[in-house]
Structure 1
Amino acid sequence: MNLDQAWQTFFAECAELLEEMESALLSIGHGDQCAELIRVIFRAAHTIKGSAGLFGLDGIVAFTHDLESVLDEMREGRVPVNARLVELLLSCRDHVGRLVDHAAAHPHPAGERAAPDAELVAEGIPLSVALRGYLAPSNRASAAEGAGTPGGEREGARVDARVHAGAGAGDAADLPARDGVDAGASAAAHDTSDSENWHISLRFGEDVLRHGMDPLSFIHYLQTVAEIVTVETLVGRLPVAAEMDPETCYLSFEIVFRSAADKATIENVFEFVRDDCDIRILPPHSRMDDYLALIRDCPESENVRLGEILVRCGTLTARELENALAHQAAAAAASDEVPLLGDLLVDQGAVQPKVVAAALDKQRRVSHVKAQENRSVRVDSDKLDRLIDLVGELTIAGASIGVLAQRGDNIELLESVSTLATLVQDVRDSALQLRMVKIGSTFSKFQRVVHDVSAALGKDIVLETAGEDTELDKAVIEKIGDPLMHLIRNAMDHGIESVARRRAQGKPDQGTVRLNAYHEASHIVIEIVDDGAGLNRDKIFAKAVERGLVDAGKTLSDREVFELIFEPGFSTADAVTNLSGRGVGMDVVKSNVLALRGSVTLDSKEGLGTVVRVTLPLTLAIIDGFLVEVADSIFVLPLSVVEECIEFAPAPDQQRDYLDLRGSILPFARLRDVFELTGAQQRRENVVVIRHAGRRFGLVVDRLLGEFQTVIKPLSRLFEKNRLISGSAILGSGRVALILDVGALAQRLEQEASSYA
């Protein structure tokens, strides 16, 4: 196997497991799924530890071992979950992440052990000590249990070979027998099933003595791997004295013992007499719990079967599985109904029903996971980017062929070009869909941010999310994380009040920040909503006057005042903290959103909270555009924002840039004036009606050229400061068209309208 590929897979899986661990830790205090969440955390730590061991990452293995031990105690209910422990586990999760990142940055040659970073190891020592502190009470409890029974070890080592001739037969007569096992065995098994002891039912065959085997020698040999507690000799098969055969074995045994060996080792004790007896081995209750844990954590390999799971976890031996399969095959040959393997194993007493149920559940989950995995393929993002580039060039070439075909009168060529255009559009849509990623993965990362920041601020804040399944281009998701982080931290620091202040205002102690995502035409809208104090309009305006951003006597709408907080260096914080107060953040948010051809708006009500809406394009690669021409220049508008087109018919005495659109006022802008274009003005002009962020406005243009699949090309540095243009496109004729930034145009119209007021 390619080592580089294996390394990359290891690190990708570690990243996913660490995200699962963090998400489960942040949710562990909410709802009734605590036990399942602990199992998720344990599986993640266990998998990271095992995979790190394969690559010789001893530092990760050593630290994760302590973490896994505490999680195992939590899983068994011996260590209770509390806020302090969750904080420790979150810190441990972060440390494991740093260890993994260091390993990714310092790969080691194949076959060599990776030297752990000394500084990172030192950072993990206090965490390991804290983890072991949770293990110490459990260890002391175990020691106390042993000390509470003086002489118990010596008593347990004694072999009690008492023969209950009359009592054994009498007990057997009172209890029903099952599957050939006498009732004395059933009673003994029931008595020890919940103890810490193993139990063996031995049914020697009648010819075992004739074959030269001594049954008692096997019991003595069992003492080499076990500590026998009691031996019950069952004499239910003994005939009357006159009918006894000295070479026939009539005795059976029920043995209770303690052992650290596995089931296969215990079964091997009776290897030479295995074919002449019926052996049933029942593990102790605690061992059954271990089997259940092993089943849950066993590797999810392909084509996994029930018998393989049971053998792998040690609750079933290979011989027991072979015998059960033979019985299943014989039953299938004799009847049309094939008995289930799990039922056979339970009826034979080889496996407890609870273990079979757990193995079947594991089998179903593995089958489901494999079915999902078989439907997906990991692809490098570079390959997807290359595919999108090729699709873009194909779109441009298809448009060029369409232009050439329209110049001729060949109907068959035009039909072929039309078919080609349809196929190219389908390929384009499919290629773009490959880059779509659910935004829920980004939302989940903010749970930890809210958890840590609320603790640092001394506030009680919860993050609620909605619309996690909303899909967005991978390139957009990668760049929107930091702006959203700023907005969430700002809402927590400035928006959400302290607990005391919320109580005084009649609000619940716990503040709420909500993240919501939804589609709107060809855009995605992300809302950051808080139920905090809201924005103080007067305070913002006064600060803006103080900074010289606006004149003291100027009249501004609420929206315009709120927009001032996006100005560079603007802040209304009374004190500088680690989170805010330096005037850095909101202007960066707006710049980053504008760089993505998006927009950000803000609405607030004092005392009730604030809503920030970030509008982003679904993709940065290809859009459906609408072409317009002004003078000799061609512009592209996103087709999704074009509502309708009407003829421009201004009133003779019109002095303001407003139109009456069926009884509604429509503000408009002339693109000729916006870009200061020269050239003969057309006698007949048109207005393109745009709807953006819930508002409508018009753009006056010379000609309407229709729809066009637009491949977005980056702008040169010449256009860096022109925010009204967001990109360029190459037309089929070879001409270059400029893509208009609708959000920037809408903002300019608002500013002009306010200046008139």
Structure 2
Amino acid sequence: MDLEQAMQTFLEESRELLDEMESILLDVEAEQTSSEQLNALFRTMHTIKGSAGLFGLDPIIRFSHQAENLLDQLRDGKLKLDDELVGLLLRCHDHVKLLIQALAAGDSLEALSDEALEAALLGYLTVPQAMQPPTREAPPPAASRPERWVLSLRFGPDVLRNGLDPSSFIRYLATLGTVEGIRAIVCRLPAGADFDAESNYLRFELLYHSDIDEKSLHEVFEFVREDSELFIWPLKIAAARLPESCASATPDEAREVEEAWRRFGALGQAQPLEEEPPAGIDPLLEHPLAATVEPPPAEPAQPAAQTEPHAPPPPETAPAHSEARAGRGGESRFIKVEAGKLDSLINLIGELVIAGSAANLIARRSQQPQLVEATLGIANLIEQIRTGTLSMRMVQIGEIFHRFPRVVRDVSRELGKDIQLRIVGAETELDKSMVEKLGDPLLHIVRNAIDHGIEPTEVRQAHGKPAQGNLWLNAYHESGSVVIEVADDGGGLDRGRILAKARERGLLGLDEEPPDNVVFQQIFEAGFSTADQVTNLSGRGVGMDVVRRGIEQLHGNIEIDSEAGQGTTFRIRLPLTLAIIDGFLVEVAASTFVLPLEAVIECIELPAGLPENGVHDCINLRGELLPLLHLDSFFELPPAAALRRNVVVVQYGERKAGLVVDALQGEFQTVIKPLGALFNTLKAISGSTILGTGEVALILDVPSLIQRACRRESERFSLPPRADAAPRPGAPLQGNTP
């Protein structure tokens, strides 16, 4: 039994349950609370408590039990879910999450007790039945009086292999009531070489005394219900249910079960339990399995005819209790894989792509048709494997989007604003490695939108706006990229103030009148801030430069659209993956470059007689003005003699440009290799790859090239700066250097 693996499973499932709990609590604030949501909240805390009981995690058990009592009263209608109670439950969520994190880090759980939170919980518990025993003057209602139960438990044969110990369930039951009698049925225990130490052969019969209801008893065995036969009956009706409990038992096993139930008093007068193992809880908890195994009893003194009732009843008479043994059915549709193993597989496939390209090149040079055909078939299979493997690393961006409802709730309440978050496109998929790195940039943008973008309620009402502000998180695919938008309906960016601050810091010239997109980009400069006062959320000029740097490290870019009085949209564009892409090979002079295939729209021949670097270095593409960028001049490469030159039309977002190259070499599966720190400042290069010949080809950064071509063309139409105007610090020099 791999307890460490079982613990990791508990930690992961607890995190998922806590995320679900937080999502439900944030959803119910905006709409009518349903009984399904309340039941889901209760199940979340109940499942964490039950799982913690399997590992003996007392601090988690104690606190989650108190939270469970509160949620139980909530779903029973004794409490109403208002904003204050939602806040308390979110604090409970945070505390349990803190305990889970401490458990994962190996820290002490006892040191994390929160007495103030526990006191707040006790203040809400109007009828804490499980914590306060009834007084003699006021007997408990009939529904809550302790009752005896007969539990017949046959855990599945693989329960030990799945990391679960049957005795742990009995230990947990002992914390909720009293195990008055227990007997292990050993008829199916093989001898000799047939015995498998990792298989479960035992069946347990229990006499149990507790005030919890039947539904709660069934929930104790939620984790093993699928592969087990579990029967739970009140003692007073157990006799009528014996045939159903023994429906799948062998004759010997059925006789032992019947004998155990007779000793429990389920089949009439109870027999003395002196021969039974000690009924007290302490010896049971010390070694439950060793204390419960008994030798097979003597043959029951009853006629053979009395064993006939062991036949199963007709299906139509089967009670609802029989559903407890029905599994959830169907095989699992998902399997969890360690992320490191998947990354290693991606790296190996990348090397396979490079090796396949080399083999394909050798085959073409050999001019052997059969060899060429074989390598093409292998290349096709490699492409399919590559696509399938990369899709396994794609996750929905909702994984990070769903973190922000809590952020919006807490920050908006701290600022006294009423803000509604709306999420669109959470199902959009992106490479997992990129999703993990998007959290911090998006957090900065969202917090700034709440703090600076959306106005206070009184300001919005004074301008005729609804009192409640809106914040949108949107994601969608576009031209082989993923676009993520953070939009608000606030007051918009103050263009004049940003421009004045940029001029004051020397970022823009005093006589410059740049377009809006250039002005708005200044907020990403380090230390740039227009806030009048510093708050604990923003105002220090720290954060937005980190946002741009984080996005650029993912080979993406960020744009801003803003309209005064209407709102602001931050638009992030990212590639789908950073591992392997479909590329398009082009030749410039004696060098080979790779363009991402999803950015390539079409290829055309460069019109003859077009002057290079003329007054207007652009062409008319079916009525559309297309700026050109000559890559040989841009990279300062020696011109090559070519019969014809070609234009590769590329697009990123709404912008297009034409890259002038000498030759087109076609599609190429590109394994992205990072460049060293020496090349980090090059805007036109995003990485490198290895060709089939073993040579290195540079991967071009299409967004930077398009921006360069469009900016140069716009500068040619703009008025030249005054001769006495000093260049601003950091301004690019004129020319074609990258």
**TM-score (norm. length: structure 1):** 0.74
Match of 2:243 in 1: 323
Deviation at 1:627, TM superposition (A): 0.7
Residue 299 of structure 1 aligns to which amino acid in structure 2?
E
Aligned residue in 2 for 1:212: none
Displacement, 1:747? 2.3
Distance 1:391 1:261, change over 3 A: same
> Which residue of structure 1 aligns with residue 485 of structure 2?
527
Partner of 1:299: 222
Q: 1:344 aligned to 2:295?
A: no
- The one of 514, 518, 532 equivalent to 1:556 is 514
When residues 420 and 141 of structure 1 are mapped into structure 2, their CA distance, relative to the original with a 3 A threshold, is closer
CA apart distance, 1:300: 4.0
The root-mean-square deviation of aligned C-alpha atoms, in Å, is 3.1
Deviation at 1:723, TM superposition (A): 1.9
What percentage of aligned pairs have identical amino acids? 46
- Asked if 2 retains the 8 angstrom alpha-carbon contact of 1:526 and 1:615, the reply is yes
**Deviation (angstroms), 1:374:** 1.7
Query: Contact 2:356–2:378 at 8 Å: present in 1 too?
Result: yes
Q: What amino acid does structure 1 have at the position aligned with 2:493?
A: L
- 1:29 aligned partner: 29
Q: How many residues align?
A: 598
Asked if residue 42 in structure 1 is aligned to residue 42 in structure 2, the reply is yes
Quote the offset at 1:313 in angstroms.
7.2
| C-alpha contact (below 8 Å) 2:214/2:232 kept by paired residues | no
Equivalences for residues 307-318 of structure 1 within 5 A:
308=229, 311-312=231-232
CA distance in 1, matches of 2:130, 2:431: 55
Q: 1:532, CA displacement in angstroms?
A: 0.8
Q: Of the candidates 611, 628, 631, which is equivalent to residue 586 of structure 2?
A: 628
Task: Give the conservation status (yes or no) of the 8 Å contact 1:45–1:68.
Answer: yes
Spell out the pairing of 1:25-424 with structure 2 (5 A cutoff): 25-106=25-106, 116-118=109-111, 120-121=112-113, 124-136=114-126, 196-197=141-142, 259-264=145-150, 290-295=213-218, 298-303=221-226, 308=229, 311-312=231-232, 319-324=239-244, 341=315, 343-345=316-318, 367=328, 371=330, 374-424=332-382
- Is the CA contact 1:298–1:313 (under 8 Å) kept in the aligned structure 2? no
Give, in angstroms, the shift of residue 30 of structure 1: 3.0
**Alignment CA distance shift 1:663-1:297 (3 Å):** same
* Structure 2 partner of 1:697: 657
In the superposition, relative to structure 1, how do residues 508 and 410 fare at CA in structure 2: closer, same or farther (>3 Å)?
Answer: same
Give the structure 2 partner of residue 201 of structure 1: none
* AA in 2 matched with 1:344: T
1:651 alignment counterpart: 610
Q: 1:19 corresponds to which residue?
A: 19
In the alignment, residue 651 of structure 1 is paired with which amino acid?
L
Write out per-residue CA displacement over residues 25-72 of structure 1, whole angstroms, 9 at most, x where no aligned residue. 111223334322222222221222222232232222222222122112
Q: For the residues of structure 2 that align with 1:742 and 1:313, how far apart are their CA atoms? A: 70
Deviation at 1:339, TM superposition (A): 7.9
Q: Secondary structure at the match of 1:25?
A: helix
Match of 1:642 in 2: 600
CA distance in 2 between partners of 1:712 and 1:430 (Å): 17
For 1:537-552, list aligned pairs within 5 A: 537-552=495-510
1:382 Cα deviation after fit: 0.5
Counterpart of 2:680? 720
**Correspondence for 2:645 among 682, 685, 703:** 685
Question: Partners of 1:45 and 1:665 in 2: how far apart?
Answer: 62
* Structure that is richer in helix per residue: 1
Partner residue of 1:617? Answer: 575
> Structure 1 297/667 Cα, relative in aligned 2: closer, same or farther at 3 Å?
farther
Instruction: Flag the 1:627–1:488 CA change in 2: closer, same or farther, 3 A.
Output: same
Indicate conservation of the 8 Å contact 2:647/2:660, yes or no.
Answer: yes
Q: Distance in 2 between matches of 1:401 and 1:605?
A: 56
C-alpha distance 141-404 of structure 1, shift in aligned 2 (>3 A): closer
311-320 vs 497-506, which moves further: 311-320
Q: What is the aligned partner in structure 2 of residue 667 from structure 1?
A: 627
The match for 2:413 is 455
- Could you list the per-position Cα deviations for residues 267-318 of structure 1 after superposition, in whole angstroms to 9, with x for gaps in the alignment? x99xxxxxxxxxxxxxxxx98x93345445641435468xx56x33759965
- Among candidates 391, 395, 398, match of residue 440 of structure 1: 398
Distance 1:494 1:411, change over 3 A: same
2:466 matched residue in structure 1: 508
Contact 1:628–1:634 (Cα < 8 Å) also in 2: yes
Paired letter, 1:301: V
Shift of 1:529: 1.2
Residue 140 of structure 1 deviates from its aligned partner by 14
Q: Of the candidates 727, 731, 735, which is equivalent to residue 691 of structure 2? A: 731
Do the aligned partners of 1:42 and 1:68 also contact (CA within 8 Å) in 2? yes
Alignment-mate amino acid for residue 70 of structure 2: V
User: How far 1:662 moved relative to its partner?
Assistant: 1.9
Q: Which amino acid aligns with 1:261?
A: E
Q: 1:412 to 1:688 in 2, by over 3 A?
A: same
SS at match of 2:15: helix
After TM superposition, give the deviation of residue 567 of structure 1 in Å.
Answer: 1.8
Shift of the 46–138 alpha-carbon distance from structure 1 to 2, 3 Å rule, reads closer
Quick check: 1:690–1:698 contact (8 Å CA) kept in 2? yes
- Note the residue ranges of structure 2 that are not aligned, 5 or more in a row: 152-178, 181-209, 250-311, 719-738
Matched AA of 2:12: A
Corresponding residue of 1:110? none
Deviates more, 1:396-405 or 1:31-40: 31-40
Q: Following the alignment from structure 1 to structure 2, what is the Cα–Cα distance between the partners of residues 94 and 63?
A: 12
Q: Name the structure, 1 or 2, with higher relative contact order (CA <8 Å, separation 6+).
A: 2
**Superposition deviation, residue 652 in structure 1:** 4.5
8 Å CA contact 2:398–2:427 kept in 1: the answer is: yes
One-letter amino acid of the structure 2 residue matched with residue 677 of structure 1: L
Distance 1:344-1:502 versus aligned 2 partners, 3 A rule: same
Task: Sort the Cα spacing of 1:504 and 1:314 in 2 relative to 1 into closer, same or farther, 3 A.
Answer: farther
Over 3 Å counting, the alpha-carbon distance change for 1:16 and 1:315 in structure 2 is farther
Query: 1:420 offset after TM fit, Å?
Result: 0.6
In structure 2, relative to structure 1, the CA distance for the partners of 1:134 and 1:700 (3 Å cut) is: same
Superposed, 1:566-605 pairs within 5 Å as 566-605=524-563
For 2:665 and 2:232, the matched residues in 1 are separated by 69
Displacement after TM superposition at 1:12 (Å) = 1.0
Name the CA shift for 1:379/1:619 in 2 (closer, same or farther; >3 Å): same
Please tell me whether Structure 1 or Structure 2 has the larger radius of gyration of its CA atoms.
Answer: 1
The secondary structure found in structure 2 opposite 1:753 is helix
Q: Is the 8 A contact 1:291 1:315 kept in 2?
A: no
Q: Match of 1:674, as an amino acid? A: F
1:470-515 CA distances to partner (integer Å, 9 max, x unpaired)? Answer: 1111111111111111111111111111111111112111111111
Shift of 1:363: 7.8
Contact 1:263 1:317 in 2 (8 A): no
